[in-house]
Amino acid sequence: MKKYLITIIFCGFIAPSMTLGQNSVNLQNPFISRNTFKKLDTLDFFIKRNQERFIEISNEEKEINDDWLQKKREEAVHDARKAQLLSNLVYDDNFDRQITKQEIEASAHKKIKTFNKIQDTKKEKIIEDAIDSVMKFDANQDAIVTYVELLELTSRDKAAAYTRVTKAYEPYLGFDANKDRTVTVDEFTNELKRIFSYADTNNDQVIDQDEYNAFQEQRYKSRDTQKVTSVSLTEYPSRIRTSIVRMIINRAKVEDLYFDPPKEIASLPENSSTYVFHNQGGGATYVEPEKSLIVEGSDASWVFTSAWKIDKIGTSSEDTSGNEIIAFLPHVKKEVCLNLNSDLKLKGGLDEDGDGIPKGSKHNILPEFSHGMMKSNPGFSTSVDIIVNEPFVGQPFGCYDLSDSNGKAGDGPYVYYHVMVER
């Protein structure tokens, strides 16, 4: 049988750890997205090729860390600002560093003259589009766009620049063996060896076709596992919601509902019919979140609270009458959050750190146990935060980033929310 080695290009994320052959590898690391078979390629050459790339893009100490990643983001923003300026210089006919509507219209007319047959309505549209494309940078609304204004990126364009860098470079932080947010060339090399050994099940330092196929099959299975995990995240609060609907049908008042976990109920309550997790109330089962959903060491639990509201869900009153009852799960794993939002087709929004997960709430308050709608904290007496950012406006569930504005992608915490009762 002919033998080939796979040239590996790292540019994404692999789902959870798996075992293939004799080795267990943390496949949260960047994954193999495209594979080129090379005849008689060796392990040494494989390592050398990837080491050279790492050293080429790393800092002077041959390391990749958060500071380096932030520098790359700033460089991307600088390049985006420069590109935005250069693409509009064509309209500055007199080179006075100012662009007027008259200059834009004159430039558009020159463009139109290159077309022999064009309807007048289309001509007008071309001119209008040209004016709009430049005048959107007119921050002070004086009908003149200066070079300074052209150098200002919108939050969306800045986020796009961040996202490009994050997708290209942040995956290298997946090789951080000692979890200090710094990847050395030695850490990178050791993980390369582990990944190669993981796929090389017969330990002959060459990946043959059968080994390659087995490795790819495990990758696809792990993706399916992630999808199942995301589904389990939404199923549990849906079951609780069903219990609440049953309680309301039986004439329980929404403001009287209590979500005390069973261990917090010392004795039989006087009116147990209002307790969601009591067999004489909602009859719902209180379940701790699956470990596969949350960040290791976070010890996160579900929070059922009436202190949040979501813009354009139910009423949008300034007072607590617009609060929803929401199930929150803080400290959700990044890959779970990404998969969930992808399945829900939640795209866009403010993503300043470029980690692919948008900012959600106005005040960035982390839901905690003390916020729970319980006997000790009943009804709708307080308003803590509001989910006001796209793409979560009007959305009954989703997963958002609480640290989007700190410039550090991937640090979270990421929070899943699920509306129980709209008000």
Question: Fold for domain 87-155?
Answer: Recoverin; domain 1 (1.10.238)
At 377, give phi and psi (nearest 5°).
-145, 70
b/e 215-224 (16+ beta carbons within 10 angstroms → b)? beebbeebee
Rounded to two decimals, what is the model's pTM? 0.58
Chain segment 332-341, per-residue pLDDT in tens: 988 888 888 8
| CB neighbours of residue 168 within 10 Å | 15
Structure tokens of 412?
């979270």
Distance CA 364, CA 149 (A): 30
DSSP string, 252-278: --GGG-B---GGG--S--TTGGGBTTS
Q: What is the pLDDT of residue 415?
A: 95
Does 110 score more than 90 pLDDT? no
Does 225 score more than 70 pLDDT? no
Give the pairing of strands 32-39 and 414-421.
unpaired
Q: What is the pLDDT of residue 198?
A: 78
Chain segment 364-413, per-residue pLDDT in tens: 999 999 999 998 888 887 888 999 988 999 898 899 998 866 556 557 79
Percent of the chain with pLDDT over 90: 22
Does 17 score more than 50 pLDDT? no
Query: Dihedral of the CA atoms 116, 121, 122, 123 (nearest 10)?
Result: 60
Does 28 score more than 50 pLDDT? no
Per-domain residue ranges of the chain = 4-68+165-221, 87-155, 232-421
